[in-house]
Amino acid sequence: MRVAFRTDASAELGTGHVMRCSSLARGLREKGHAVTFICADEPGNMIAWICQAGFEVVKIHPASQQEDCRQTRTALEPQGADWLVVDHYRLDRSWEEQVAGSADRLMVLDDMGRPHACDLLLDQNYDNPLHARYLDNLPTDCELLLGPRFALVREEFAQLRDQALLRRDGRLSQILLFMSGSDEYNETGKALAGIAASRYREVPINVAIGAANPNRAAIDAAMADLPGGRLYVQTPQMAELMLRADLMICAGGSANWERCTLGLPALLTILAENQVAVAEGLGKAGAQKVLGWYDRLQACDYAVALDKLDRNELYSMSAAAAAVCDGRGVEAVISRLDNLSSGDLP
């Protein structure tokens, strides 16, 4: 198969769309399929990162939906595609209807319950009220892949799952802080201040940020107050960092499925509306403690949440997280792409 991805990263969009598409793209490449990315060249993009991962990237200019569609169709013209995979909050059903015919089939990644014109839709979030919106807002022959069973987790996380679960015993000897790739509100800095004010200030902490994070200088300064802290920028070592951590302080993005694959407990902050369903679902499952919206939190809230944690709660959250996702979603999605492309029945 030839598979094209239309997705972007930016200071506004964050990095999660590109990251989950890259997980699927790696799985496709490993099975011998050809992969191309189509990305807008805008501030905070991850085009260089995608190229370094060995994928072809066709650059387009940031534009209106209509112009974006025209550029996407042009990018697809030379060889076409069996599948066009779209993961983008700025592109909606009208864009999908206009791009129809440029690829044999269209797959959409979404988690907002929006209307779409596609052949396959993936929403990897827990069952939530947004899923019901799809039922009346999709073509009748569109197939739905819903839930963490289809979460696009990179293979290295699945490979480390058994090792990670063996070491989860409720102790807290290392913390991982990751507030999304861009973190435009610098919630990382606020959380660092909270850690510094907690009883865990002496515990080693690893902090991960994206290359587009505009607050690196402030984060460096905040980390100077924490012994044993280390900063990772656009790191390829997230699987290892999650494996070694006993608690993750994070936002409600797609990295939570990787975290759950490794049974890693979390204190979670909501940074955007599209994170609410993930936060609430995982909170109800017991896989994390939800602190609330970022703009209602102070550093002291992080300190209080940390100080209240005990070994039993951490162990319980770990077991609940591990039960959510096994890290095999990429395999399941590729199987459906293959079957639908060949015309096989479900």
Q: How far apart are CA 300 and CA 80, in angstroms?
A: 54
Residues 6+ apart with CB under 8 A from 217: none
pLDDT per residue as tens digits for the range 238-268: 999 999 999 999 998 888 999 999 999 999 9
Give the separation between CA 231 and CA 102, rounded to whole angstroms.
Answer: 43
Q: What are phi and psi of 121, to 5 degrees?
A: -125, 130
What are the structural domains, with CATH classification, of the chain?
Answer: 2-153+328-342 (3.40.50.11190), 155-324 (3.40.50.2000)
pTM above 0.85, yes or no: yes
- Closest to 323 measured CA to CA, from 255, 264, 243, 252: 264
DSSP label of 103: S
What percent of the chain clears pLDDT 90, i.e. is strictly above it? 81
Give first-to-last CA distance, the chain, whole Å. 18
Instruction: Report pLDDT digits (tens) over 278-314.
Output: 898 899 999 999 999 999 999 999 999 999 999 999 9
Report residue 344's pLDDT band, with 50, 70 and 90 as the boundaries.
low
Give residue 346's pLDDT: 46
